[in-house]
Amino acid sequence: MTTLHPGGSAAARNSPPQARPPVLLFAVAAVSAIGGLLFGYDTGIISSALLDLGRDLHLSTGSQEVVVSAILVGAMIGAPVSGLLSARHGRRPVVAVLALVFAAGALGSALAPDTVALVAARLVLGLAVGAASNTVPVYIAETAPPAVRGRLMVLFQLMVAIGQLVAYLAGYALAGPGGWRWMFALAIVPAVVLALGMLPLPESPRWLIGAGRTQRARDVLVRLRGPGADIDGEVAAITDLCRAESGGARGLRATARSLRARWLRPALLVALGIAAFSQLTGINAMVYYAPSMLAHAGFGSSSALLTGIGIGVMLVLAGITGVLTVDRVGRRRLLLWTLPASGAAMALVAVAFLLPGSAGQRWTAVLALFAYIFFNGAGMQTAVWLIAPEVLPLSVRGPSTSMATASVWGFDLLIALTALTASQTFGLTATLLLYAVMNALCWIFVRRRVPETGGRSLEDIEQQLRRAAA
């Protein structure tokens, strides 16, 4: 199998800096990233809601896992469906519609009269979460220039972290019988903001050229790049790739043939591998179940919820770190630096639960957990939404990115369905040690397979992929 060169091209690394992008570019990233806030809030709120929801609806451990997992099943469906829809109709309208789906799912969850209705509403929310996690990074990647693409795309992950922090804060403030309904209902507000905010934004110029609307794409690039930018050169580079791939929008059969192409396999391996490890390294087991795990380990419910807020704070700090470092350090190097620390911190959490119950043991477990959340969030969770849209080529970017996104949610579903059961069956220490091992295996995978995509145009990355397979 051919592989992408880890370091990228020298020309790309030594390219001259670009002029400061116009405000519209940052508006595109900021408004569309509200989808990330909704993603983070709707996936994170369940950890706080479970403490009262389980009592109000008399949920067993298995039933709690089903309620948590419903959103992930929906996300597995929403990711590939949104990929096909965005390839056909464009990125912007798909993001606008999914905002309305977010609002409908949040309202249904808040008004659910029983467990079945709640699971159905969470399934609808999952459709929007999967669509957002797939379409928003692609939309940002295709509108941003190489110099700031990383930090703008990481804004999505930062908004996910902020959404999770808001979820923990709302969970602590609204804890009590029936409070979980208000927890779910709060998500309607940012959903409406996203729907309205998308109306004045432009379509992805790369999608426009692929659909044969070159002049409109040129007009959009003028607005997104500002004075002095080489608009003609960028349009020509995108157009050449579209022609090489038979140009325009593709049908399902042509897309399926493209996905089986030998030259695409290294990029698919990288995208799918990072997607899998983003969950197998354990982050969402902690996001979903940390308060429940800590409560079962002897922490009081109030202490467990406060720890959840701490997790949210660390996720935000990790997101900020990712924004500040991902373009300077590079995606690959950031992963190679943070994964060993992430794995070591998870192992320390596991060992802490073997110690006799005491204030020292609890502080060790909580501080190590915070360290794990920070390092995994700053590295793995920063890179997972960046690498697939960057490494996968334009002709199949929507469908192939949706494959990677569906893999994220598939492995997330695996974790959600097994984390509580595994910790009760095999012990919390054994379960957490398995996640620590996965961090080590991910480091090996990154070292051997993942290329550096930072500071390079999407067209340059694709041309290297084609050259490697020639």
pLDDT, tens only, 235-251: 888 887 777 654 434 44
pLDDT at 249: 43
pLDDT at 389: 80
Average pLDDT over residues 87-114: 92
Tokens (6 digits) for 91: 């990125």
In whole angstroms, give the CA distance from residue 158 to residue 195.
Answer: 20
pLDDT at 95: 92
Q: Are the CB atoms for 99 and 189 separated by under 8 Å?
A: no
Is 175 a member of any domain? yes
Is 438 a member of any domain? yes
Cα end-to-end span (Å), the chain: 12
In whole angstroms, give the CA distance from residue 327 to residue 148.
Answer: 7
pLDDT at 103: 95
Of the given ranges (68-82, 187-201, 295-309), which has the lowest mean pLDDT? 295-309
Assign residue 282 the CATH number of its domain: 1.20.1250.20
**pTM of the full predicted structure?**
0.73
pLDDT, tens only, 371-401: 999 999 999 988 887 888 888 876 677 677 7
pLDDT at 140: 87
pLDDT at 38: 92
Average pLDDT over residues 327-351: 93
Quick check: 45 pLDDT over 60? yes
157 is in which domain, residue-wise? 10-469
In whole angstroms, give the CA distance from residue 30 to residue 234.
Answer: 23
Average pLDDT over residues 285-308: 70
pLDDT band with cut points at 50, 70 and 90 for residue 187: very high
Tokens (6 digits) for 170: 């709302």
Q: How many domains does one find in the chain?
A: 1
In whole angstroms, give the CA distance from residue 383 to residue 165.
Answer: 20
Is 179 a member of any domain? yes
Quick check: 199 pLDDT over 60? yes
In whole angstroms, give the CA distance from residue 117 to residue 343.
Answer: 38
pLDDT at 257: 62
Tokens (6 digits) for 466: 């084609």
**Closest by Cα among 146, 229, 189, 206 to 393:** 206
Is 163 a member of any domain? yes
In whole angstroms, give the CA distance from residue 43 to residue 68.
Answer: 8
Tokens (6 digits) for 453: 């995509």
pLDDT, tens only, 150-170: 778 778 878 888 998 899 899
How many other CB atoms are found less than 10 A from the CB of residue 64?
20
Average pLDDT over residues 63-70: 84
Is 130 a member of any domain? yes
Average pLDDT over the chain reads 83
pLDDT > 90 in the chain, percent: 30
Is 3 a member of any domain? no
Is 1 a member of any domain? no
Is 51 a member of any domain? yes
